[in-house]
Amino acid sequence: MAILPIRLFGDPVLREKGRPVTKFDARLQKIADDMIETMEAARGAGLAAPQVGLQMRMFVYDIGEGPGVVVNPELSDFSGTYIYEEGCLSLPGIYVEIERPMTVRCCYRDLDGTPHEIVADELLGRVFQHETDHCDGLFFTLRAEKEKRKEAMRAMRETLMPGEKEYIPNREARTGAARREGARVL
């Protein structure tokens, strides 16, 4: 397994739509393993393929119950509302309060290509929505209210170093130091 560099906001790969996965092979398994190791090193609750430079519809997650892998996510049946302060591994140290649906149904494939369906709510529902957005080339700040988005953009300019494109996560540096109590990075 390997820890992969995490791409930062501004990298074009984060604005591109991921391609659906068609080959459920050993390479896909390896990518999933590396993404899980990277997410754990960054202490994230989720990590999508575009965040490690891969234009694929796939993400990994772990909300404290062990890691899971979601391939080709399709969300439907949104219901309720839920306000939550989201962070993103591609924008370390910045947290934005965002209202999204509370509950969502996710149809996806596992690493063998077998179809599954899960109804996710609260934090898990939030992770699935944030990561599926990454797969669609959408950054979480787009989901924030205008004023909160502006505030995040201001903070971002102070946070990101000019020319900085990616970082290697570890438990101490960057994401660890900038972690906010109670909030999760996705």
> Dihedrals φ, ψ of 31, to 5°?
-60, -45
- Interacting span for Zn ion (CB under 5 A) from 52-60, 70-78, 85-93, 101-109: 85-93
Q: Which position among 131, 147, 158, 166 bears the catalytic label?
A: 131
Alpha helix stretches (DSSP H) within 24-169: 26-42, 122-135, 146-159
- For the bound state, the minimum distance from the C-beta of residue 23 to Zn ion, rounded and expressed in Å, comes to 25
> Dihedrals φ, ψ of 54, to 5°?
-105, 120
Assess 186 for contact with Zn ion (CB under 5 A). Answer: yes
Pick 3 or 24: Cβ nearer Zn ion: 3
The residue behind tokens 């972690």 is 179
- Interacting span for Zn ion (CB under 5 A) from 12-20, 30-38, 83-91, 101-109: 83-91
- For the bound state, the minimum distance from the C-beta of residue 114 to Zn ion, rounded and expressed in Å, comes to 26
Assess 75 for contact with Zn ion (CB under 5 A). Answer: no
User: Order of strands, edge to edge, in the sheet holding 82-88?
Assistant: 91-100, 82-88, 184-185
- For the bound state, the minimum distance from the C-beta of residue 164 to Zn ion, rounded and expressed in Å, comes to 17
The overall longest dimension of the chain from CA atoms, in Å, is 45
Q: Which letter does DSSP use for residue 179 in this model?
A: P
- For the bound state, the minimum distance from the C-beta of residue 26 to Zn ion, rounded and expressed in Å, comes to 27
Assess 88 for contact with Zn ion (CB under 5 A). Answer: yes
Residue 166 annotated as catalytic: no
Q: Which letter does DSSP use for residue 112 in this model?
A: T
Q: Report, as residue numbers or ranges, the catalytic residues.
A: 131
